[in-house]
Structure 1
Amino acid sequence: MPRQLVSWVQAAPLALILAAFLVAPIIMIVIVSFWGATEWSIYPAFQFDNYEFLFRSPVTYTVFANTLKYTFITWALTLLIGFTVAYFLAFEVRTLKWQIALFLLCTIPFWTSNIIRMISWIPFLGRNGLANSALLSWGVIDEPLDWLLFSDFSVILAFVHLYTLFMVVPIFNSMMRIDHALIEAARDGGASARQILFHVIVPLCKPGIMIGTIFVTTLVMGDFITVRFMSGSQRANVGRLISNDISLLQYPSASATAVLLLVTVLIVIGLLLRLVDIRKEL
């Protein structure tokens, strides 16, 4: 059997799985996005009413802007925290045993459900919660802070808590591949710690940073349950818009919004991939 044919046969099972569980559902969503709907029925059609309604509604632009705001702020905070944690594990912890132990410690929150970890912030941030009680007892504030919970602050806090590890792992993997001889050579050449960080470590970590960015960006842009719980249903993102349409059985409208979200995510990922070749990390 020719080698090329053997390669096709070996790739066929995975290709079929991807086609059945990834490509086919996306195609179905695109098809349904052109269908029509009334208050009591959905009918197959090929019309642009759903997209026309989305592009003409100011709510769409507000919700997408809110989604991008959450995504950017969460990305910036997870990058800062993730890079710091990864740097500490890779360069400050000297033994492999402690690196593994501390890395596993970072994964402990993932032993529980995302929803449980998320709603655990509610009694902590509430008006009568632990945070306000502590600040009042210390005399830092005179009355409870209302913006700690059911606000953009609580939403972003939950996002950072849930998704920071997705930034830590790829950056840590990149840092562990850095030859320490390069750092020693830079230090022998008179480079300061700041110069080594920004001119040696950060450039070599770009693939890991980009992979973490893609993870965090796609997860935040597609999330809806976090925004719903942590904002007290007072804020909205694209995921919540889709969820609301589905709860009202408006599947064509939800599909059209999902297609727009998918296109937005693909554009963002495409721009990111033009900046760094992540194949070096794979």
Structure 2
Amino acid sequence: MSGSVGSGRGGSWEPAQGVAAWWQAAPFALVFGVFFLLPLALVAVVSLWNFNEYELIPAVTLRNYFSIFEGCSRLTDNGDFCVTLSTYLSTLKFCLIVWAVTLVLGFAVAYFLAFHVRSATTQTVLFVLCTVPFWTSNVIRMISWVPLLGRNGLVNQSLMGIGLIEQPIEWLLFSDFSVVLAFVHLYTMFMIVPIFNSMMRIDRSLLEAASDAGASGWQTLWNVVVPLSKTGILIGSIFVITIVMGDFVTIGVMGGQQIASVGKIIQVQTSYLQFPLAAANAVILLAVVLMIIWALTRLVDIRKEL
């Protein structure tokens, strides 16, 4: 009798628990659907619309996608790729360089904070110092480089003053260098935080065991710390890659409006009210970013690691 009552209670409790779980997840699912899935669906729908100089025409067509890749089946007369492929390659170039630099800097800073700073108070103070630049606007932080890197800026004037150069260095500002420098300045923190969190979870006894086994500092770093920090590295990489791939403000300001990027093309098309064409570019960019993220998640099973 007691067994039947117990099973009855268990049977009635499990569905109730399932219903409660669904109700708890419903608000988050609603927010995710309204603010993420629905806008993406609308962008995909608009990318299939037609348009002219005066109006949007809600008729299904692939004209926008064909227009984006027009002429990309062959090289130009100068032996270059078409505008679309050249722009994507330029964006991927910046993405790869910024990812590599922020990974090295972010890993080094996180490693120092996690393993060489013993005091929790000191860790907190140094961590807050890393966030100080985020107290101001991205645009202000970018503009702050102009008086430093300009032709008559502090860097050029200092180098000329000590006799290292005779003429100002032109490529310090409004160049690929200044764009990468601004990206690294703006987004290294997105790499530091997740790597630091992963490193703080590492059992310190593992490091002691590696040292007792005769491993050098570099061997311990490569065989213990790096594998156990893969989750943070992956999350930081996803943050940096997704932000850089869609950025157009940084490239526009620090590139002097002379360097093309996919985000810049979308912004220009939107300003000219070519919304279907901009939406098609956005869908293609999203597909490229998702493929990059998919490739990264093949290297680390983030769900298992978390």
State the TM bucket, normalised to the shorter chain.
over 0.9
| Counterpart Cα distance in 1 of 2:161 and 2:212 | 52
1:130-145 equivalences in 2 (<5 Å): 130-145=154-169
| Counterpart Cα distance in 1 of 2:49 and 2:249 | 27
CA deviations over 1:115-167 (Å, ceiling 9, x no partner) = 11111111111000011111111211110000000001000100000000000
| 1:156 counterpart (169, 177, 180) | 180
What is the root-mean-square deviation of aligned Cα atoms in Å? 1.0
Q: Secondary structure at the match of 1:2?
A: helix
CA deviations over 1:223-282 (Å, ceiling 9, x no partner) = 110000000000011100100000100000000000000111111111111110222554
Query: Partner residue of 2:295?
Result: 271
Query: Partner residue of 2:11?
Result: none
Q: Does 1:100 align with 2:124?
A: yes
Query: Partner residue of 1:228?
Result: 252
| Counterpart Cα distance in 1 of 2:109 and 2:158 | 27
CA contact under 8 A between 1:174 and 1:281: conserved in structure 2? no
| Structure 2 unaligned blocks of 5 or more | 1-14, 72-81
| 2:51 counterpart (11, 28, 37) | 37
| Counterpart Cα distance in 2 of 1:4 and 1:99 | 42
Letter aligned with residue 281 of structure 2: T
| Counterpart Cα distance in 2 of 1:278 and 1:56 | 38
Query: Partner residue of 2:207?
Result: 183
CA contact under 8 A between 1:78 and 1:160: conserved in structure 2? yes
Query: Partner residue of 1:91?
Result: 115
Q: Secondary structure at the match of 1:233?
A: coil
Q: Does 1:17 align with 2:26?
A: no
| 2:70 counterpart (56, 77, 84) | 56
| Counterpart Cα distance in 1 of 2:225 and 2:290 | 28
Report % sequence identity.
56
CA deviations over 1:168-218 (Å, ceiling 9, x no partner) = 001111111111111111111111111111111111111110100000000
Q: Secondary structure at the match of 2:259?
A: coil
Which structure: larger Rg? Answer: 2
Q: Secondary structure at the match of 2:69?
A: helix
- With over 3 angstroms needed to count, the CA separation of the structure-2 counterparts of 1:129 and 1:122, relative to structure 1, is same
| Counterpart Cα distance in 1 of 2:140 and 2:118 | 34
| Counterpart Cα distance in 1 of 2:128 and 2:111 | 16
Q: Secondary structure at the match of 1:107?
A: helix
Q: Does 1:192 align with 2:179?
A: no
Q: Which moved more, 1:1-10 or 1:112-121?
A: 1-10
Letter aligned with residue 266 of structure 2: I
| Counterpart Cα distance in 1 of 2:55 and 2:118 | 64
Q: Does 1:243 align with 2:270?
A: no
Letter aligned with residue 85 of structure 2: Y
| 2:61 counterpart (36, 44, 47) | 47
Letter aligned with residue 26 of structure 1: L
Normalising by structure 1, we get a TM-score of 0.98
Query: Partner residue of 2:170?
Result: 146
| Counterpart Cα distance in 2 of 1:18 and 1:94 | 40
Letter aligned with residue 273 of structure 2: L
Q: Which moved more, 1:252-261 or 1:171-180?
A: 171-180
Normalising by structure 2, we get a TM-score of 0.90
| 1:80 counterpart (104, 118, 128) | 104
| Structure 1 unaligned blocks of 5 or more | none
Q: Does 1:210 align with 2:224?
A: no
| Counterpart Cα distance in 2 of 1:177 and 1:140 | 47
